[in-house]
Structure 1
Amino acid sequence: MLSRISTAAVVAQIAMGVAATPCKATTIKSTVAAWQAKYPGATVQSADVVIVGGGSAGSNAAINLVDAGKSILLVEMQAQLGGMVNSYTDPTTGNVHDFGVATFTNVTGTEAYFERLGITTKSPTFGTTTSYYADFTTGETIDYVAPDITGEFAALGTYYDVAAQYQDLLFPSYANWPAPADIPEDLLMPFGEFAAKYELNDTMLLLWAGIGAGLADMLDIPTLYMMQTFGAQTAAVFLGTDVQYVPESGRNQDIYDAVASILGDAVMLNSMVTQSVRLANNQGVALLVKNQVSGDYTIVTADRLVMAIEPTASNLAPFAPDSTESAVFDKGTWSVVNVGLVSHPSLPDDALIYNLPASAANGNDFAYPEPPFVDYFEAVGDGLFQAIVVGWDDLTEDAAQALAQDALDKLAEAGTIPATNGVPLTINAWSNHGPMDMRSTKEDLQAGFIQDQYALQGYRSTYWTGAAFSNQLSTYLWAYNLEYLVPLVVASF
């Protein structure tokens, strides 16, 4: 196995075996001709690079590739760019509530990216809440004793110190990831064991509620994936030793509206890939793209494809993954996160109600709900509460909303909050973030999973960005694109 995955090595691998591949002109040309015959109204567009997925990773990759001199087309299934940024404007007050992405941290390239987009920033402000603890399966309050701030920050500082030792192995990419035999044991052990080893008890709820709950099984996953999700730099933000930003407007969607304005007609909104041809050895791709509103088809040809969507089986179906790709992605496990803004007169205006099992009482800092679960209800102003619901990849949006309703009903039945009097939870805004935080097992990591994953870069003219190859946090993805992905794609031409 490779102990280091360098750009040069990947490009060299891509260049091998060209003679064994069908001629690009013949294959792409015949594909386009066949699609034109089947869809006679289809238009044809071409670019150096086509990017599928206009969320945080795809939008940023598009801007960076344009700035590197490449023509692009960006295919996005939603009506706007931004993926799961989720900005909601209260119709009564006009206040904006960002309930998907809260803030942006000061990772490499963040400030320059905002300047490129013409986005001015400010430090975020946060409201104050009163914390309550209850078991949402029964509605009963839990005698959980929260750590004092001194102990919490001391334990978080310990986590930062250890995580910082491994930062270069997984940030901004896994290009420096060690050979399987050399993976540090800290990164392979279940995070619960890691946390016990380093006595992180007093900061466990912060790690859970801050980001870790979205992993669904934070205590059981290899510590690597916890550090990928909640790394040293994120810990520094919570410790107050690093900064975070939001747009001056207070609306995170403005970032992606600015991207759309810059890219103009290169953005294909409301669009999904229905079929594809991807050739080996960087000989190009052809995508059949359907506009979900108009029903019109566009045939896209490009020299390179950048995938900025999660590589789940359903997402990849139109791209017909072969056995090499499936051998990697079939090993992935995914959690699913739903985020909503809800309201109900029984929820206290200043409350942050955490969901913890009864076993969390009496000083047990390693007890968390089993998926699927509602993480918490948190007051965000205007009578709205952010609700986060986490499960596995079979959790539907309807089921997630039903869990939130059930949690409210249980809290009321137990007398933890006032009676609902039959009034249902109001869903003011809701976003199914879908599968997130792909992870594998310790055994797969020791068998070279990450080396196999990164060997897919450039395979079948396809390059990969997004949380499965880096981190789910926007600024980490931007750094990954800037320092790893875009140089790799540009060097392949």
Structure 2
Amino acid sequence: MASLFRRMLHGTFLTLFVIAAALSPEEVEADVVIIGGGSSGTYAAVRLHDLGKSVIVVEQDDVLGGNTNTYVDPQTNITIDYGVVVFHDILVAQNYFNRLNIPFAIAPMGSYGTTTFANLKEGEVIANFVPSNPTNALAAYGAQVAQYPGLGAGFFLPNPVPEDLVMPFGQFVQKYNLGDAVQIIAGFAQGYGDFLEQMTLNIFMGQGLQVLESMQTGFLIPVHHDNHEIYDNAFQVLGSDKVLLKSKVVSTNRSFADHVEVTVQTPSGLKVINANKLVMAIPPKLDNLVDFDLDGTEQSLFLQFVNTAYYTGLVRNTGLPENTTYQNVDVAAPYSLPDLPGLYGLGATAIPGLLDVKYGSQTAFFDDAVKADIIATIIRLRTNLGIQTDEEPEFVAYNSHTPFRLTVSPDDVKSGFYDKLNALQGHLHTFWTGATFDTPDSALLWNFTETLLPLITA
């Protein structure tokens, strides 16, 4: 009996030990922990790794890449980039591609097939629509942007902030007679919501001198037409033990004098990461940061952000003519810009019958509502074209890039918001990167992140 009791007691202790071991988080150390494995976070990780720093990346999705979405056709293995498409031909991008062994070429941003202009809200093709010649207006626009060289490195504004920068872009266009350039500038500003109501500052940031130069000289394009190759190769550089996929931050503690503590729920259990520095590469919206120990300064700044919404995907079984791209225009609207929320257009792709769709809104919608509106728009167009088919359009790929453009009010800008935001770099051992601190443009975000590296490694 005593022997049986001892065996039972031993079994109980062993069970408790196993449970305790399972519940006890694994502790790991790193020089830098990076939250977010999108464009900025992955770039920061690779560069810090190459600079001899140990890094750990925490990413909630099952792959790195963020808004870089690539579809691989299961039958042909043809790849379609339906998120990030091209990159600026600047040194930081060339160096990054070379580091990751990704061959590239410099070419204009192209499109497949012929372009037809249509009012997609009404489902009507606009015959004989001729876009304005933007040449002179683009030159005048570029001259205005060039007056603010600080914007080439982030939100570094003159003090006091000029009224031109905080006025709605529609007013700015009228003031400087830039109407002929609106269509083409807006085409590079998809996802910005109500384009003409956006502050001129935000348009300058996203569609600045580098965009104008790339329009003339060409963009950097991966030869394999597979932009996700960047992140696949980066994953190999960093190693699977340094990239925590499908993982979520549970808590942070930045109160220590010499390090930060980040607790992460991973598929294999809790991990506590002790690191010298923290790099935040996710949108700083408060609902993204509920598990972070934000202080009053951070909360008061991030509370001021509002955001636009952007959605992208690929649709088949549309019944529409192959090799035809439909650009959405509304001739009754100022500068013929499309009415939002809605599609910017339907783009032909390298796969016949597969259309690239881009959808924008000033505010966010549920994904099911966005998909339903896109499908209804396609059916409306083909019905008005007299195309008879029972095929139901079907998504083969879809991603929400929401929140997209984070903005604040003109009064906030004039009150020094961006000076205060930039002052967060290094605060509580934390550094911030990503589109909120510059622009939603991969190559320019890599350039911005590069400027932080000396501070992070100090």
User: Partners in 2 of 1:366 and 1:378 — Cα distance?
Assistant: 19
Shift of 1:453: 0.9
User: Partners in 1 of 2:386 and 2:283 — Cα distance?
Assistant: 38
Matches within 5 A, 1:100-249: 100-124=83-107, 126-142=110-126, 145-147=129-131, 151-166=133-148, 168-174=149-155, 176-179=156-159, 181=160, 183-209=161-187, 211-238=188-215, 240=216, 242-249=217-224
Aligned partner (choices 273, 283, 289) of residue 249 of structure 2? 273
User: Partners in 2 of 1:229 and 1:259 — Cα distance?
Assistant: 26
Which residue type is aligned with residue 160 of structure 1? G
Contact 2:194 2:362 in 1 (8 A): no
Q: Could you say which residue in structure 1 is the equivalent of 2:445?
A: 477
Give yes or no for the alignment of 1:447 onto 2:415. Answer: yes
Shift of 1:132: 2.6
- CA gap 1:58/1:377 in 2 versus in 1, 3 angstroms: same
Give yes or no for the alignment of 1:429 onto 2:402. Answer: no
User: Partners in 2 of 1:432 and 1:259 — Cα distance?
Assistant: 23
Q: Percent identity?
A: 32
Contact 1:171 1:480 in 2 (8 A): no
Contact 1:305 1:462 in 2 (8 A): yes
Structure 1, residues 426-451: CA drift from partner, whole Å, max 9, x if none?
Answer: 11111111201111121110011101
User: Partners in 1 of 2:434 and 2:21 — Cα distance?
Assistant: 33
Q: Could you say which residue in structure 1 is the equivalent of 2:7?
A: none
- CA gap 1:100/1:367 in 2 versus in 1, 3 angstroms: closer
Contact 1:110 1:475 in 2 (8 A): yes
- CA gap 1:321/1:214 in 2 versus in 1, 3 angstroms: same
Give yes or no for the alignment of 1:398 onto 2:398. Answer: no
Question: Matched residue of 1:407: which SS?
Answer: helix
User: Partners in 2 of 1:133 and 1:147 — Cα distance?
Assistant: 10
User: Partners in 2 of 1:213 and 1:305 — Cα distance?
Assistant: 31
Matches within 5 A, 1:292-331: 294=267, 296-331=269-304
TM-align CA RMSD: 2.2
User: Partners in 1 of 2:426 and 2:21 — Cα distance?
Assistant: 30
Contact 2:318 2:378 in 1 (8 A): no
Question: Matched residue of 2:277: which SS?
Answer: strand
Shift of 1:164: 2.5
- CA gap 1:178/1:38 in 2 versus in 1, 3 angstroms: farther
- Bigger shift: residues 451-460 or 38-47: 38-47
- CA gap 1:136/1:232 in 2 versus in 1, 3 angstroms: same
Shift of 1:367: 4.0
Q: Could you say which residue in structure 2 is the equivalent of 1:7?
A: none
- CA gap 1:358/1:37 in 2 versus in 1, 3 angstroms: farther
Question: Matched residue of 1:105: which SS?
Answer: coil
Give yes or no for the alignment of 1:344 onto 2:317. Answer: yes
Which residue type is aligned with residue 456 of structure 2? V
Q: Where does the alignment leave 5 or more consecutive residues of structure 2 unmatched?
A: 1-18
Structure 1, residues 348-404: CA drift from partner, whole Å, max 9, x if none?
Answer: 2122222333513xxx4154313x212111111312111011124531221211110
Q: Could you say which residue in structure 1 is the equivalent of 2:10?
A: none
User: Partners in 2 of 1:134 and 1:298 — Cα distance?
Assistant: 53
Q: Could you state the TM-score of these two structures normalised by the residue count of structure 2?
A: 0.90
Contact 2:152 2:208 in 1 (8 A): no
Structure 1, residues 150-207: CA drift from partner, whole Å, max 9, x if none?
Answer: x2233223222322332x2122223x4322x2x2332222111112223222222222
Contact 1:192 1:366 in 2 (8 A): no
Q: Where does the alignment leave 5 or more consecutive residues of structure 1 unmatched?
A: 1-35
Structure number, greater radius of gyration: 2
Which residue type is aligned with residue 328 of structure 1? L
- Bigger shift: residues 377-386 or 200-209: 200-209
Contact 1:103 1:124 in 2 (8 A): no
Q: Could you say which residue in structure 2 is the equivalent of 1:438?
A: 406
Shift of 1:226: 0.7
User: Partners in 2 of 1:102 and 1:288 — Cα distance?
Assistant: 35
Structure 1, residues 315-362: CA drift from partner, whole Å, max 9, x if none?
Answer: 1111142321121111111112110011224222122222333513xx
- Bigger shift: residues 78-87 or 468-477: 78-87
- CA gap 1:440/1:270 in 2 versus in 1, 3 angstroms: same
Shift of 1:475: 0.5
Contact 1:346 1:417 in 2 (8 A): no
- CA gap 1:233/1:169 in 2 versus in 1, 3 angstroms: same
Contact 1:48 1:70 in 2 (8 A): yes
Q: Could you say which residue in structure 1 is the equivalent of 2:356?
A: 386
User: Partners in 2 of 1:243 and 1:356 — Cα distance?
Assistant: 25
- CA gap 1:105/1:226 in 2 versus in 1, 3 angstroms: same
Give yes or no for the alignment of 1:287 onto 2:255. Answer: no
- CA gap 1:190/1:325 in 2 versus in 1, 3 angstroms: same
Contact 1:409 1:420 in 2 (8 A): no
- CA gap 1:367/1:88 in 2 versus in 1, 3 angstroms: closer
User: Partners in 2 of 1:142 and 1:332 — Cα distance?
Assistant: 38
Q: Could you say which residue in structure 2 is the equivalent of 1:45?
A: 28
